[in-house]
């Protein structure tokens, strides 16, 4: 039976587990990129204590000195079991998986398999900024198919991008962000099936970044791309990283559809050497034993989405905001405030709160900013109040 999301099983809300003073003791990028008077609501790190099963797995590994090279299929098997229980998807076949160092390096390896130098890679801006850097550093070129004004995939625009991408006779790929960062849009089964049909028609290979898959709002279903009809030639990258706050314990799983198994088999075996063994242990423990913690987190994120909507309505009514269906990121349309292309700069300089600049996300990002709401209600409230004070 598929488990109903957001059943908390008595776990406390992880977003209420740490004080600001304790968070400032952290040495990760989120807490060291800016001076201490800046409230960081930017990069995708969560302000949570780790799930106990993760802590126990890592502690045991360190105590044993079990810090060598990654191997085996334990992570893929745990992910397959999680997908069946959480998403009702029985199609994640362990034999069609491979360990990769993290999602973006996995994306690079997948694009190497299905495209060549100079080939186009379709993206849907505004979208996760590293897409642009990784694709261009790989000597592929970006082909944009912007989202619609409603923040959803525009299938007509996408088809036109596919048509142009293959017009020269070369290979083409579509790097699909699902759920979408920064808008929080969770693509429906119907939308994904339409993407698969278009990809099949034009010979475009879809590579789906599904790192935010476990992070959906109540009543919203995440659908893996490879679960929809016609997606057999697709490739997916999945990880426990975002949902359990494990960015510093790097590991991810590349998954191939049935018709892409031979492509995945061509991935160089030495790729696994870059995978963190301790990361694999942590991610596996999260997927197998950390679902109660995840459900408590999801309930806390739902509460923070409601809180943010209320705070913006009260303190920043000029900001247009559509609560995301997934992720823990909020996409803020600040164009009516008259702050120029990069309102995050104004909020940082005048309000001492750090957001991610909208222009970094490509077409459609100007006049916007991305806010990370995976923090305590108190910090979220203070952040919005600082943003409002910046306008006075």
Chain position carrying tokens 């031979």: 262
* Fold agreement (14-51+291-389, 68-289): no
What radius of gyration, in Å, describes the C-alpha atoms of the chain? 20
- Look up the CATH number of domain 68-289: 3.40.640.10
Q: Largest alpha-carbon pair distance within the chain?
A: 59
Alpha-helix runs per DSSP H in the chain: 20-23, 29-32, 52-64, 74-87, 103-114, 130-137, 155-166, 189-202, 261-265, 277-289, 291-315, 343-351, 377-389
- Whether 111 and 207 have beta carbons less than 8 Å apart is answered as yes
In angstroms, the CA 313 to CA 294 distance is: 29
- By DSSP bridging, strand 97-100 and strand 252-256 are antiparallel
Phi and psi angles of residue 228, each rounded to the nearest 5 degrees, phi first: -95, 155
- DSSP 3-state of 216: strand
User: How far, CA to CA in Å, does 319 sit from each of 125, 239, 355, 382?
Assistant: 20, 32, 14, 17
Q: Which CATH architecture has domain 14-51+291-389?
A: Alpha-Beta Complex (3.90)
Structure tokens at 374: 């995976």
pLDDT tens digits in sequence order for the chain, 392 residues long: 344 455 555 899 999 999 999 999 999 999 999 999 999 999 999 999 999 999 999 999 999 999 999 999 999 999 999 999 999 999 999 999 999 999 999 999 999 999 999 999 999 999 999 999 999 999 999 999 999 999 999 999 999 999 999 998 889 999 999 999 999 999 999 999 999 999 999 999 999 999 999 999 999 999 999 999 999 999 999 999 999 999 999 999 999 999 999 999 999 988 889 999 999 999 999 999 999 999 999 999 999 999 999 999 999 999 999 999 999 999 999 999 999 999 999 999 999 999 999 999 999 999 999 999 999 999 999 999 999 999 99
Distance CA 38, CA 121 (A): 37
- Helix axes of 377-389 and 291-315: crossing angle, nearest 10 degrees: 30
Task: Compute CA distances 154 → 148, 203, 310, whole Å.
Answer: 5, 19, 29
pTM: 0.96
Could you give the C-alpha distances from 332 to 183, 367, 386, in angstroms and in order?
A: 9, 9, 15
For 118: left if phi > 0, alpha if psi spans -120 to 50, otherwise beta; the answer is left
Instruction: Supply 9's token pair.
Output: 């099983």
Alpha helices in 88-236 (DSSP H): 103-114, 130-137, 155-166, 189-202
Neighbours of 310 (CB within 10 A): 12
Residues constituting the chain: 392
Evaluate whether 153 touches 124 at the Cβ level (below 8 Å): yes
Per-domain residue ranges of the chain: 14-51+291-389, 68-289
Beta bridge partners of 144: 123
DSSP state of 375: S
Q: Which SS3 state, helix, strand or coil, does residue 209 take?
A: strand
Instruction: State residue 65's pLDDT score.
Output: 98
């Amino acid at each position: 039976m598929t488990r109903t999301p957001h059943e908390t099983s008595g776990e406390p809300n992880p977003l209420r587990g740490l004080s600001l003073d304790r968070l400032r003791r952290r040495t990760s990028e989120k807490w060291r990129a800016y001076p201490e008077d800046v409230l960081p609501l930017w990069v995708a790190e969560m302000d949570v204590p780790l799930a106990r099963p993760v802590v126990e797995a890592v502690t045991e590994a360190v105590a044993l000195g079990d810090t060598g090279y990654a191997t085996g299929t334990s992570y893929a098997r745990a992910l397959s079991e999680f997908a069946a229980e959480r998403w009702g998807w029985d199609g994640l076949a362990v034999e069609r998986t491979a360990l990769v160092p993290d999602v973006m390096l996995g994306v690079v390896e997948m694009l190497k398999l299905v495209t060549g130098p100079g080939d186009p890679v379709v993206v849907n801006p505004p979208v996760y900024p590293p897409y642009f850097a990784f694709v261009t550093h790989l000597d592929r070129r970006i082909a944009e198919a912007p989202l619609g004004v409603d923040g959803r995939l525009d299938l007509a625009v996408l088809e036109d991008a596919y048509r142009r991408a293959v017009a020269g006779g070369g290979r083409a790929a579509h790097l699909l962000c699902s759920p979408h960062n920064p808008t929080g849009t969770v693509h429906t089964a119907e939308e994904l099936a339409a993407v698969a049909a278009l990809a099949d028609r034009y010979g475009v290979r879809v590579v789906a970044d599904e790192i935010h898959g476990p992070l959906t709002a109540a009543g919203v279903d995440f659908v893996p791309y490879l679960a929809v009809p016609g997606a057999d030639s697709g490739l997916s990258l999945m990880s426990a990283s975002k949902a359990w706050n494990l960015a510093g314990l790097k590991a991810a799983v590349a998954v191939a559809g049935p018709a892409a198994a031979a492509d995945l088999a061509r991935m160089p075996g030495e790729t696994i050497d870059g995978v963190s063994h301790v990361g694999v242990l942590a991610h596996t423990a999260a997927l197998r034993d950390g679902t109660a913690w995840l459900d408590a987190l999801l309930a806390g994120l739902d509460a923070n989405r409601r809180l943010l909507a209320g705070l913006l309505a009260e303190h920043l009514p000029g900001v247009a905001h559509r609560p995301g269906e997934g992720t823990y990121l909020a996409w803020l349309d600040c164009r009516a405030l008259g702050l120029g292309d990069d309102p995050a700069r104004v909020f940082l300089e005048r309000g001492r709160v750090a957001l991610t600049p909208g222009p970094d996300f490509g077409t459609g990002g100007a006049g916007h900013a991305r806010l990370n709401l995976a923090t305590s209600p108190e910090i979220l409230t203070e952040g919005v109040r600082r943003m409002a004070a910046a306008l006075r």
